[in-house]
Amino acid sequence: MRHCYVIGSGPSLTGFDFNQLPAGYRFGANKSGWLADCHVLVTLDRNFPRKCAAELAAYRGEKVIAVGPEDARDDPTVTYVRRERADGFSDDPGALRGLDSGFAALNLAYLRGFKDIALLGFDFMWNEGRSHFHEGYVSQNKHTDRFLGNWAPAFHRVVPQLEAAGCRVTNFVGPRGSRVTAFPTRPLEDLI
């Protein structure tokens, strides 16, 4: 069974030691790509490549950036795919879907045929004034918690695709749980 981790940025990962994770391929959403030493960084955030240009240039893993027709495709070290805002996962290897980069990273793990997928940092909620385990982004505002709550239900719509592909997804959560309720949960500590 092909195993991987899809690492989001939820505050449940604050202080988490990614070096303690058992072996497995790692997909990281946005900054989690380099902070969690992932094999591939995935983003569909239009502003992320510009805001984090220096960090992206230094990142030595695979970079997959979902773009629209108006976005630049000027970095030869990046794999560019189409960004689609639609329900479900893309079944086209040239496109990723989602409203957030964590969803897009899970879409990529599905496209690459991983069958046992562990989600980390998929809290989709504020915790003590934080929505990320790292410093977050300048563009965060008072509406971020509402956006996270609106994005979480999208995961329910991919359960049939995952089941049809024989994929098992487990959401490893911190003590406050997660708004992503489409998958079975286990405590984050169970990974170590």
DSSP characters for 9-47? --GGGTT--GGGSPS-EEEEETTHHHHTT-SEEEE--TT
Q: So what's the pLDDT on residue 176? A: 83
- Strand 95-97 relative to strand 3-7: parallel, antiparallel, unpaired? unpaired
The tokens for 2 are 């092909």
Mind spelling out the 3-state secondary structure of 130-185?
Answer: ECCCCCCCCCCCCCHHHHHHHHHHHHHHHHHHHHHCCCEEEEEECCCCCCCCCCCE
Q: Quote the CA–CA distance of 178 and 78 in Å, as a whole number.
A: 31
Q: So what's the pLDDT on residue 149? A: 59
How many domains does the chain divide into? 1
Q: What are phi and psi of 180, to 5 degrees?
A: -80, 100
**140-182: pLDDT as tens digits:** 555 565 666 576 888 999 999 999 999 999 999 987 888 899 9
Which residue range(s) make up the domain with 122?
3-191
Low-confidence ranges of the chain (pLDDT < 50): none
CA-CA-CA-CA torsion sign (68, 110, 104, 145): positive
Q: Quote the CA–CA distance of 84 and 96 in Å, as a whole number.
A: 6
CATH number at residue 61: 3.90.1480
pTM over 0.85: yes
The residues pairing with 6 across neighbouring beta strands, listed in sequence order, are 27, 119
